[in-house]
Amino acid sequence: MFEFNIIAECPETGARAGEFRTGHGVIETPLFMPVGTQAAVKAMSPPELQEIGAQIVLGNTYHLYLRPGADIVEQAGGLHRFMDWPGGILTDSGGFQVFSLADLRKITDEGVEFRSHIDGRKHFMTPELSIETQQKLGSDIAMCFDELIHIPAEEKASREAMERTVRWAERCGRAHTRSDQALFGIVQGTLFEDQRVECAERLAEMDFPGYAIGGLSVGETHEEMYRVLDALRPVMPKNKPRYLMGVGMPENLLEGVARGVDMFDCVLPTRNGRNGSLLTRRGRINIKNAAYERDFSPIEEGCGCYACRRFSRAYIRHLYRSGEILASRLCSWHNLYFLVNLMRGARRAIIEGSFPAYLRDFFKEGEFEA
């Protein structure tokens, strides 16, 4: 069921175009996945996500475990029916959210004790419980429970977290029983290339259907991120999809694709959209600025999203100043469309043999850091 086929590669870079078959259709890569933390992509309905071309969305295991609870989602028929989404769904393991709790958690080899951010109650998340929860949620892709730590990290602390991630991956693999759900391993090791390579090689021996790269986009420089991706590209299984977690800046997406990454996700397009920050080919703009008060052009000329087809910068700025919810919806719509379409264009360029030019033109046209 979870066959991954590479249909085109760029010989000048590591970019590849692929197809990953799941129970809810074939996912065409490279792609950007909108984040639906609590079984909903903020400000967007499922038909709207389909309209922008989203193929797969994310659900958050930590949040759904706490509210409404995996049992309720399971009784509703799983996440697809619960949120009325016909496409693919990936659930993360909850590792990043537990990492974010900082002072509210305690990590041992057995698992993580943490206090709920909702009511302060204690919970204990183990690799087995994470897998049990994700199986009840019924996602197409589940993630192994992992440990990530802050960057920069001491070498010893980084290795301890990497080793624990490998041990937890083994436990996740034993606990996972759903044949209609792909389980991905997660590569950790902070910025230590030797640890990253070792982790990837040990996880590859477990033969997961796909592999993620975690623990990046947490404060390191772009150059440090790319250095890690460069080190991992030769050792990650070529015949499995590669997923760079939590990365959503356009320049990072394209540089990731050039290094063989197939899948990306991030809350950036909707979070920034709610704050009036918009992505364009020429760089980022803040729609709340006075410069757009009488600007009756679209957010971006030539953009095919609903917001750009129907409304002007002046109107969207007016909505923000008036406190209208529609402003957040339109800006989120545009940002999501921008990233989904950016990846669609990259895929087309890989297939047509023009990806280096596509990459070069993007950085030449916009105010982005290569």
Range 190-194 contact pairs with CB under 8 angstroms and sequence separation of 24 or more: 190/149, 190/151, 190/152, 190/153, 190/158, 190/161, 190/162, 190/215, 191/151, 191/152, 191/153, 191/158, 191/220, 191/224, 191/227, 191/228, 192/155, 192/158, 192/159, 193/227, 193/228, 193/231
Type of residue numbered 260: G
Classify strands 88-91 and 105-107 as parallel, antiparallel or unpaired: unpaired
Active-site pick, 71, 84, 92, 295: 92
Active-site pick, 140, 146, 262, 265: 265
CA–CA separation, 252 vs 342, rounded Å? 12
CA–CA separation, 244 vs 72, rounded Å? 30
Backbone phi, psi, residue 209, to 5°: -65, -20
Q: What angle do CA 278, 283, 286 make, to 5 degrees?
A: 35
Type of residue numbered 157: A
Active site residue 92: yes
Please, where are the H alpha helices in 142-210?
155-175, 193-204
Active site residue 265: yes
Q: Which residue has the tokens 């440990």?
A: 147
Answer yes or no: are the C-beta atoms of 180 and 197 closer than 8 Å. no
Beta partners for residue 243, in sequence order: 212, 263
Catalytic positions: 92, 265
